[in-house]
Amino acid sequence: MKKVVHAACPHDCPDACGVLITVEDGKATHIQGDPAHPVTRGFLCAKVTKYLDRVYAPDRLLYPMRRVAPKGQGNGDASDFARITWDEAFAEITGRLKQISSDFGPEAILPYSYGGTLGVLNNTGMAHGANIHGANVHLWPFIEEARRKGAKLIVIDPYKTRTARLADWYLPINPGTDVALALGMMHVIINENLHDADYVSKYTLGFEELKERVQDYPPERVAKWTGIAAADLMKLAREYATVRPAVIRVNYGVQRAQNGGMAVRAITMLPCITGSWKEVGGGLQLSTSGSFPLDKQAVERPDLMLRSPLGRAARVVNMSSLGQALTRLDNPSVNAIFVYNSNPAGVAPNHTDVRRGFLRPDLFTVVHDQRSLNTKTCRPRTDIIICKCRSKRSARSENAAPTTTFSANWHSAWALPTTVSGRLTTK
């Protein structure tokens, strides 16, 4: 029997595509974007278009595996692991986690994950570290539509992406210097009185401090850090402040630097001082997830932390400091890590420490994934791999509930010391 199932893309992606899946005799045979969905418009991104290949991949992990080769050694493939039953996997995982919790405290267990499957445009658009054409495909038709009506696309990125090649103006920037660029632009906008004084007085706090702070960032000085010529920076600032409406599309790449959280904060001040938020199609876009608030308490279960031997909220480990956490954090040290929806040995910063940490013989590592043998985290370093397709029970194992929490890179503004002052906040 053949039927078409209406579904939604499960990825953590702002496009939130509508998906049509053809199912024949219980097996999905075709996937396509929903033509009736106003954003999807009938097409899916390259990743999800090939989703059925992933779901039915011959090397899909179908049962739990336990490492038999010594950690850090072996062939780096499936021969380093032996199949075990679900009961064996659950018994070992819960047993080891309980023991570690009892010996070192629950904070010795670290969950680590990122976003895997989870369940208006204008006259000037500035893509700051956002490869829209490659990674935000459903926004691109709207940008093209706006450009046909006279809008201009400016791209700021260290790398000349597909989006940069298609832009009206591409400004290469030195990596990690986004805070300086934003402060340099504000220097020009404020000193040339291009800011919206009425909006600033009504809706922001800290403008006088910011005005004082940006005096340290004249275009000539900022040019040395960013690699963007002073004349270009001034032109950019003037254009951004005077062409209305103007929007900034900033993306996660900006955050992947030491001052990433502060970089995003500095960039978000730009539409606050120009008053761009008051215009339809103006403002700034990063993530839309804040528009759909989740009951985080239900997920993070602070009540479990309070009932645990800690009797308090668990410490926060910044996920971009994983290498440091695995090699230097103590009182207690991290003695178990549960990885899901992420491949930290491949993506976490400070690769040498991350790798060294995962190779610790006393670190108990569990990875929960679909095709974990493909990931750098799994191959040489994991003790037990459990597959995503059949492990709902694991989420319900209250005894194994880890209580150390973590924060994502963009939380570094509050989780780690920051280096830029002169803050502007919305009222």
Q: How far is the CB of 28 from ligand SF4 (least distance, A)?
A: 15
Among 20, 31, 37, 48, binds ligand SF4 (CB under 6 A): 48
**Contacts for 333 with CB less than 8 Å, ≥ 6 apart:** 104, 108
- Site stretch for ligand SF4 (CB under 6 A), options 9-17, 124-132, 190-198, 221-229: 9-17
Nearer to ligand SF4, 19 or 263 (CB): 19
Residue 113, class by beta-carbon neighbours within 10 Å (0-12 exposed, 13-18 middle, 19+ buried)?
middle
DSSP-H helix ranges across 56-166: 86-104, 132-135, 140-148, 162-166
Q: How far is the CB of 54 from ligand SF4 (least distance, A)?
A: 12
Nearer to ligand SF4, 138 or 187 (CB): 138
- Site stretch for ligand SF4 (CB under 6 A), options 11-19, 124-132, 190-198, 320-328: 11-19
- Site stretch for ligand SF4 (CB under 6 A), options 5-13, 155-163, 219-227, 272-280: 5-13
CB crowding 22-39: b at 16 or more within 10 Å, else e:
eeeeeeeeebbbbeebee
Among 45, 190, 284, 401, binds ligand SF4 (CB under 6 A): 45
Q: Which of 44, 70, 35 is nearest to 137 (CA)?
A: 44
**Positions in 13-42 near ligand SF4 (CB under 6 A):** 13, 15-17
β-strands 65-67, 81-83: how paired? antiparallel
Q: % helix / strand / coil in the chain, to the nearest 5?
A: 45, 20, 40
Among 11, 67, 249, 265, binds ligand SF4 (CB under 6 A): 11
Q: At what angle do helices 207-214 and 178-191 cross, to 10 degrees?
A: 110
Nearer to ligand SF4, 42 or 309 (CB): 42
**Is the alpha carbon torsion for 386, 391, 395, 398 positive or negative?**
negative
Nearer to ligand SF4, 33 or 349 (CB): 33
Per CB under 6 A, 9 contacts ligand SF4:
yes
Nearer to ligand SF4, 290 or 311 (CB): 290
Q: How far is the CB of 102 from ligand SF4 (least distance, A)?
A: 41
Q: How far is the CB of 133 from ligand SF4 (least distance, A)?
A: 12
Q: How far is the CB of 10 from ligand SF4 (least distance, A)?
A: 8
Per CB under 6 A, 138 contacts ligand SF4:
yes
Per CB under 6 A, 132 contacts ligand SF4:
no
Q: How far is the CB of 170 from ligand SF4 (least distance, A)?
A: 24
SS3 138: coil
SS3 179: helix
Per CB under 6 A, 135 contacts ligand SF4:
no
- Site stretch for ligand SF4 (CB under 6 A), options 7-15, 267-275, 282-290, 344-352: 7-15
User: How far, in Å, CA of 363 to CA of 337, rounded?
Assistant: 7
Nearer to ligand SF4, 31 or 241 (CB): 31
Per CB under 6 A, 44 contacts ligand SF4:
yes
Per CB under 6 A, 47 contacts ligand SF4:
yes
Per CB under 6 A, 50 contacts ligand SF4:
no
Q: Considering only the C-alpha atoms of the chain, give the largest distance between any 2 of them, rounded to a whole number of Å.
A: 70
Tell me the sheet residues that pair with 426.
Answer: 204
Q: How far is the CB of 9 from ligand SF4 (least distance, A)?
A: 3
Residue 416: count other Cβ atoms within 10 Å of its Cβ. Answer: 18
**Positions in 307-366 near ligand SF4 (CB under 6 A):** none
Tell me the sheet residues that pair with 341.
Answer: none
For every residue of 104-132, DSSP letters joined together read H-GGGEEEEE--SB-----SEEEEES--H
- How is residue 11 annotated by DSSP? B
- Site stretch for ligand SF4 (CB under 6 A), options 6-14, 309-317, 339-347, 364-372: 6-14
Q: Are 37 and 6 in contact (CB under 8 A)?
A: no
Q: Which of 10, 9, 47 is nearest to 388 (CA)?
A: 10
Nearer to ligand SF4, 16 or 359 (CB): 16
Q: How far is the CB of 127 from ligand SF4 (least distance, A)?
A: 16
Q: Which residues bind ligand SF4 (CB under 6 A)?
A: 9, 11, 13, 15-17, 44-45, 47-48, 137-138
